[in-house]
Structure 1
C-alpha cells in the first residue's frame, strides 16, 4: 500500500484529543463537558437540484417520469377494469381472475381480454376485480357460467400452459354470442 499523506489541518483540529468520526456529532452534552473538546463538523446537504437532474435524465432516455411515479401499461389496463359498471347496461360482464404469482397468468388474461373486446359480442371485461386466489386462472360470466376454472395450480402451471388460448377465446366468443342471441 502507498504511504498515507499527511495533510495540514487547522489549528482547532490539532487540539482535539482522539479521532473525529461521523458518530462524534451524536455525543451528548454530558460527555462533552467531561473535558474533551469536539469539533462540530459542517452539515453537508444534498443540492435540491439533484431530483431535477434525475428527472431530466429519465426524460432524455424516453422514460418520462422517474421509476417511482410511473406505471406500466398493464397496471393502467388493470386500473381501468376496476371501474364500476352501471347495472342498467345490457352488456355481459366477463370476469378474468388470474394469480399475480407469475407473469404468464397476466399475459394470458390480457390476451383473452383484448380478444373479447375486439369481438362482435357486447361484453365488459374485468380483470381481477377482487384480490385473486393463489395459483388461480378463471374466466367466468358475472353471476353465471364458468368458462375456465384452474384452481390451486403449482409451478410450473402445466394445465394453464397447455391450453390453446385461441381455441379457448373462440369458444368463449361462441358461447357469449349464442347466449346473447346473435
Structure 2
C-alpha cells in the first residue's frame, strides 16, 4: 500500500517534492577542479589581506629604522670589503647531467675549505655548461678545465681528487 500524502495546514495537499538524485559521478578531473578552485580562493584571500593598507605612523617608524639600518649596512659593507680583499673565491662549475660531477665538486670544495684559510668556494654560480667540470679562481687562473665530455666521462673519472686538491692548494698558497 502506498504511503499517504500529508495535508498542509489549510487542508490542502502539499505539492509532491522532486526526487533528489543521490548518485553523482566523481572523476579525477572534477576533484582537480574543486581543489584548484579552493586554492584560488585561498590565494585571493591572502592577496586581499596583503593589499590592506597599514597605518601611516607605523610606516614612518619603519622608514626611520630603515635609515638606521642603511647606515649600519654601509659600515658593515666597508668592514666586509676589507675582509674580502683578503678572501679569494674559487668557482667550481660542474654539469648536472650525472651525479659523479656533483660528488667530485663537493670533495674539492670540502678539501679547499679545510686546507686553505680564508677561501670562499662557490659551486655553479651560473647555469653550468653540459659535460663540464671546471675549477677556476675568479680573476685568476683556471686549475682544471674539462669541457664537452661525453659519457662515461672518462677524463673526469680518471682524476685523482686528492692529488688535484693538493695541487690547487699549492697554487693558492
TM-score in terms of structure 2 length: 0.54
Tell me whether 1:99 sits opposite 2:92 in the alignment.
no
Kindly report which structure 2 residues correspond to 1:24-173, keeping only aligned pairs within 5 A, or say none. Answer: 39-41=21-23, 88=82, 89=84, 90-173=86-169
Q: CA RMSD in A?
A: 2.3
Q: In structure 2, what is the Cα distance between the partners aligned to 1:134 and 1:120?
A: 29
State the aligned residue count. 101
- Distance across 2 between alignment mates of 1:40 and 1:143: 73
In the alignment, the residues of structure 1 paired with residue 20 and residue 151 of structure 2 have an alpha-carbon distance, to the nearest angstrom, of 60
Question: Who is 1:78 aligned against?
Answer: none
Q: CA deviation at 1:120?
A: 3.5
Greater per-residue helix proportion: 2
In 1, distance between residues paired with 2:96 and 2:159?
A: 18
| Per-residue deviation, residues 113-136 of structure 1 (Å, max 9, x unmatched) | 000111143210000000000000
Q: Which runs of 5+ in 1 are unaligned?
A: 1-36, 46-85, 178-182
Deviation, structure 1 residue 101? 0.2
What SS does the aligned partner of 1:39 have? Answer: coil
Q: TM-score, normalised by structure 1?
A: 0.51
- Any conservation in 2 of the 1:93–1:142 contact (CA below 8 Å)? yes
* d(CA) in 2 for partners of 1:133, 1:100: 9
Q: Which is higher, the Rg of structure 1 or of structure 2?
A: 2
SS of residue paired to 1:174: helix
For the residue of structure 2 that corresponds to 1:121, the secondary structure is coil
